[in-house]
């Protein structure tokens, strides 16, 4: 069951955990990634995992905010003989992941002056790019784009990412190979 990226919060996880604790529940995989789960929700899940018998074998709680105490609760729950969990994904993402919706994945990107095409101008601490008619006096660099008006960002992006782009003019092209 994949309920990822729903704002279930602890109250929703508590209701879900009541169902998980039911002896007729045969659910083996539960994905709650990005559901705004804190320590309180972890406590509800641990209670369900200790139920006799829990069939849950895989639990994904990544991109939540269980805190250290929530992680300790889950780890201790794994020691229970009734718990059959084989795979637990708990990624402590910090306060930022407690924002609802896509905002939890916001990242600020810094444009790389070593790769910027000479017909582009960087400003606002390398966070804004403007298309120019005249070539900019950037120093030679082996990573500079010469043929296409493009620029890379300095930050590496993996997993879930979200960014916003403002543009004006007649044309725009977006490409992401993440």
pLDDT band at 95 (very low <50, low <70, confident <90, very high): very low
**pLDDT score of 39 more than 50:** yes
Q: Average pLDDT for residues 79-86, to the nearest whole number?
A: 80
pLDDT at residue 135 in the model: 96
| Percent of the chain with pLDDT strictly greater than 90 | 45
CA distance linking residue 130 with residue 152, whole number of Å? 14
More confident: 157 or 2: 2
Cβ neighbours around 13 below 10 Å, total: 27
Contacts of 129 (CB under 8 A, 6+ apart): 111, 116, 120, 121, 122, 123, 151
Q: Choose the weakest-confidence range: 2-6, 17-21, 167-171.
A: 167-171
Q: Average pLDDT for residues 25-52, to the nearest whole number?
A: 90
Domain spanning 107-178, CATH class: mainly beta
Place of tokens 């300095």: 154
Tell me the pairing of strands 120-123 and 128-131.
Answer: antiparallel
CA distance linking residue 33 with residue 59, whole number of Å? 9
pLDDT at residue 54 in the model: 73
pLDDT at residue 139 in the model: 96
| Predicted TM-score (pTM) above 0.95 | no
Domain ranges of the chain: 9-98, 107-178
3-state secondary structure of 43: helix
CATH of domain 9-98: 3.80.10.10
pLDDT band at 2 (very low <50, low <70, confident <90, very high): very high
Contacts of 50 (CB under 8 A, 6+ apart): 77, 80, 82, 83
Alpha helix ranges (H) inside the chain: 9-20, 39-49, 67-78
CA distance linking residue 145 with residue 114, whole number of Å? 9
């Amino acid at each position: 069951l994949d309920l990822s990226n729903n704002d279930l919060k602890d109250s929703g996880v508590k209701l879900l955990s009541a169902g998980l604790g039911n002896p007729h529940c045969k659910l083996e995989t539960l994905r709650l990634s990005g559901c705004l789960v804190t320590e309180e929700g972890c406590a509800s899940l641990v209670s369900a995992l200790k139920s006799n018998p829990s069939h849950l074998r895989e639990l994904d709680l990544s991109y939540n905010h269980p805190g250290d105490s929530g992680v300790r609760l889950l780890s201790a729950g794994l020691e229970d003989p009734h718990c059959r969990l084989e795979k637990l994904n708990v990624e402590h993402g910090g306060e930022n992941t407690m924002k609802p919706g896509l905002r939890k994945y916001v990242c600020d990107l810094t444009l790389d002056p070593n790769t910027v095409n000479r017909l582009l101008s960087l400003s606002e601490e390398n966070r804004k790019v403007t298309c120019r008619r005249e070539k900019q006096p950037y120093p030679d660099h082996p990573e500079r784009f010469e043929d296409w008006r493009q620029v890379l960002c300095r930050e590496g992006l993996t997993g879930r990412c979200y960014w916003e782009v403002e543009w004006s003019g007649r044309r725009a092209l977006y490409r992401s190979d993440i």
